[in-house]
Structure 1
Amino acid sequence: MILPRTAEPTVRHLAHGYPVVAVTGPRQSGKTTLARHAFPERPYVSLEDPDQREFAMDDPRGFLAQYPDGAILDEAQRCPQLFSYLQTRVDHDPRPGRFILTGSQQFHLTEGITQSLAGRVAMVVLLPFTLGELQGAGRAPSSLEELLFEGLYPPVHDRHLDAHVWYTNYVGTYVERDVRLMVNVRDLTTFQRFVRLCAGRTGQLLNLSALADDAGIAHNTARAWLSVLQASYIVHLLPPHHQSFNKRLVKTPKLYFLDPGLAAWLLGVQEAAQLAAHPLRGALFETWVLSELLKARFNRGLASNLFFWRDRSGHEVDVLIERGDALIPVEVKPGQTVSRDAFAALERWRALAGDTAGPGWLVYGGDRSQERGGFRVLPWREVAQVGGP
């Protein structure tokens, strides 16, 4: 059974307006399945296949001539020489939706598109499942702890795999392989330690110098490795909002993993029950909420409009959604009850931001939705409503 993806209508719509549509995202997020399901009539070619890749690299014109009406080119970044030849073909025949590209490494795919296909391609970032997609298929985890432990990568839920075993293989097979393709990592053990240290900092302000020191590597190496994790859609750096409201602002981004299950595995969590009292439960919950908000944008073909706000005194709003002239604040609390103190940051923000403050939202680990003090309180299962009307 193929679980419906929220991004599929977006991809189909873009294919009516652009000759090339590129679907990118982390490995195993469902890009190939989405492309083949959305365009079943298109021939499919995987450039991970050595024979196909050799043909495409040695004779790109001959390779593309096989597909006069277009094709799905999977893992297109494996053959960057094709992009220039694709440009020639779509300029000669600009019929919309001819070529669907998928790719897992943002650097190589984006570089090829920027150099050769600018203005001819629409891009969609596909992250792992949303909670709503799992709910719609009747496969949502029954508890918050299970959700944070299992994460939302499709193979765990499509094939009912043991999450701990799957993440073990995922890190060894894909994450570390991508690293070797993108940078020269001489000591894989040190890189593994670096990634685990990043997981321990999910939801925190990025301190690259401290991260490098703890990992025992140079500052420039830490920066390069972090860039690889970003390019592989393992982590996301959430920028601070630039508007000061007469306060001195923190200008450092916050580090987030894009899937809580992967972060939990890197932290050594071996079963869901451990997360009930885990010291990083709150950080993992915030990580998941942030990823759901990003998916809501990416699935519509839009760039992120998410920020956080923090001043030098430590006053902070977990997430700001920039919508027109309004800044919608979102607070995240992992507890199952909501105390009066939970609204302090939202109230402070409303007083500070004045007319620019949009309606505030609080997402928590409980089960009941509420309206309190002019703020909407949502249980974790209803996270998809955040920022809505």
Structure 2
Amino acid sequence: MIKRDAEEKLRSLALGFPAVSVIGPRQSGKTTLVRSVFPHLPYILLEDPDTRAFAEEDPRSFLAQFEESGAVFDEVQRVPQLFSYLQGILDRQTKPGKFILTGSQNFLMMEQISQSLAGRVGIIKLLPLSMREIARAGVMPDTYEEILYGGLYPRTYSSPIHPSDFYSSYIQTYIERDLRQLKQVQNLSTFQIFMKMCAHRSGQIINYSSLANDCGITHNTAKEWLSLLETSLLIVLIRPHHKNFNKRLVKMPKLYFTDPGLAAHLSGIQNADDLGYHPLKGGLFESLILTEFLKIRYNAGKESNLYFWRDKLGHEIDCIIEYAGSDLIPVEIKSGRTASSDFFKEIAYWNGLSGNTPDRSFVVYGGDQHQRRSAGQLIGYQEMEPIFSYLE
């Protein structure tokens, strides 16, 4: 098992809440994490037909078995009625860390938690592996193209499965098992096309009308489906920062997949070598770095503090980290391996507007050098610790 950075926060939440919920995309490692952290709790998989039938038919008696011992309930959203009965138990039994809830259908999980268990459950989001985690485990690929193609789901590092086989099965599982239960997705084949069109827009500002037209759906349906992917934690929408410096700003968010391998597969990329001069390479690399920042936040139990900045003239900063409430830390992201002074052009422009200093300005690039330049710091993608302090 690759040690997860979220383990420390998970233990902390279990000391303060009677129940803790671990949410995240399917196959992100939720079950492995909770079973390793809470080996003393009975593990109950509610996808097992017999177990689920008992829980559905007699939820009160089902939960009574675990009122004293507590339990890990995996895929708990499969039996929604349990949440109401669990509320009563949590009100009677206030001992922290008794129940650990996991599930892959985050839209159903969060709906039930907000209705029945608000204030009683600590929540942590678990995305696929971070580069920091795989580096610590000694399984970091030699090139970032291999990460962009192979992705960061734990199974691709724990078994010899080929990435294309993993992602083909993953997409079918997500669509067939999760989405068909939702009324807002009637046409699953159209939704799969929609996911592919989203992948081709990785790292881009969303144009809802263009996305809808390419998929043959309405503008409102495109918004609903994007919201569904976002709630599933398969994508993240990075919002523009509101600081305008008397400039007109764009208002639409940028789209990133939380795993670059999934986006690469949906885009039809066949192997890591295809990424050498692929037009999506820059967007996928940007996704990799942005989600690395996001994992730092989520693993600490915090929400995103990431934005981007772009004015109507086209000046843009790929990532703005909102630090300590009001400080803004600019980060540019470049997939090139050869350092160039052009990397700092937008940073210098933004610093001129904001008054930010070069020592708090960063360019993350595809190389391995760490250089302090007059406009900011150049940092290799595997050595981003100087930026992590603004995220933790």
CA distance in 2, matches of 1:357, 1:110: 41
CA distance in 1, matches of 2:183, 2:195: 15
Aligned to 2:15: 16
Aligned to 1:58: 57
- Report how far residue 118 of structure 1 moved: 1.2
Alignment of 1:234-273 (within 5 A): 234-273=234-273
Q: Residue 109 and residue 357 in structure 1: after superposition, are their counterparts in 2 closer, same or farther (change >3 A)?
A: farther
2:333 corresponds to 1:336: no
Partner SS for 2:382: helix
Aligned to 2:224: 224
Aligned to 2:354: 353
Aligned to 1:372: 373
- Report how far residue 384 of structure 1 moved: 4.6
CA distance in 2, matches of 1:351, 1:80: 54
CA distance in 2, matches of 1:358, 1:65: 58
Q: Which runs of 5+ in 1 are unaligned?
A: none
CA distance in 2, matches of 1:175, 1:193: 12
CA distance in 2, matches of 1:103, 1:40: 18
Partner SS for 2:201: coil
Aligned to 1:294: 294
Moved more, 46-55 or 91-100: 46-55
Q: Residue 53 and residue 361 in structure 1: after superposition, are their counterparts in 2 closer, same or farther (change >3 A)?
A: same
Q: Which runs of 5+ in 2 are unaligned?
A: none
Equivalent residue letter for 1:146:
E
Equivalent residue letter for 1:364:
Y
Aligned to 1:125: 125
Alignment of 1:68-217 (within 5 A): 68-217=68-217
CA distance in 1, matches of 2:137, 2:268: 29
Deviations 1:25-73 (A, max 9, x none): 0000000000000000000011111222222122111111111221001
CA distance in 1, matches of 2:359, 2:117: 38
CA distance in 1, matches of 2:209, 2:370: 41
- Contact 2:15 / 2:96 at 8 angstroms: preserved in 1? yes
Aligned to 2:321: 321
Partner SS for 2:179: helix
RMSD across aligned positions (CA): 1.5
CA distance in 1, matches of 2:242, 2:45: 42
Equivalent residue letter for 2:318:
D
Equivalent residue letter for 2:47:
E
- Report how far residue 115 of structure 1 moved: 1.4
Moved more, 241-250 or 93-102: 241-250
- Report how far residue 245 of structure 1 moved: 1.7
CA distance in 1, matches of 2:182, 2:142: 38
- Report how far residue 203 of structure 1 moved: 0.5
Partner SS for 1:386: helix
Partner SS for 1:382: coil
Partner SS for 1:309: strand
- Report how far residue 187 of structure 1 moved: 3.2
CA distance in 1, matches of 2:357, 2:69: 49
CA distance in 2, matches of 1:174, 1:193: 14
- Report how far residue 5 of structure 1 moved: 0.5
- Contact 1:20 / 1:101 at 8 angstroms: preserved in 2? yes
- Contact 1:148 / 1:261 at 8 angstroms: preserved in 2? yes
Moved more, 325-334 or 73-82: 73-82
Deviations 1:336-380 (A, max 9, x none): 012111101111111111269981111100111111115221111
- Report how far residue 224 of structure 1 moved: 2.0
Equivalent residue letter for 1:311:
D
CA distance in 2, matches of 1:360, 1:106: 35
Partner SS for 1:295: helix
Q: Give the number of aligned pairs.
A: 388
- Report how far residue 188 of structure 1 moved: 2.7
Deviations 1:259-308 (A, max 9, x none): 10000001111111111111110010001111101100000111111111
Deviations 1:58-99 (A, max 9, x none): 211111111122100111111221112111111111000000
- Report how far residue 189 of structure 1 moved: 2.4
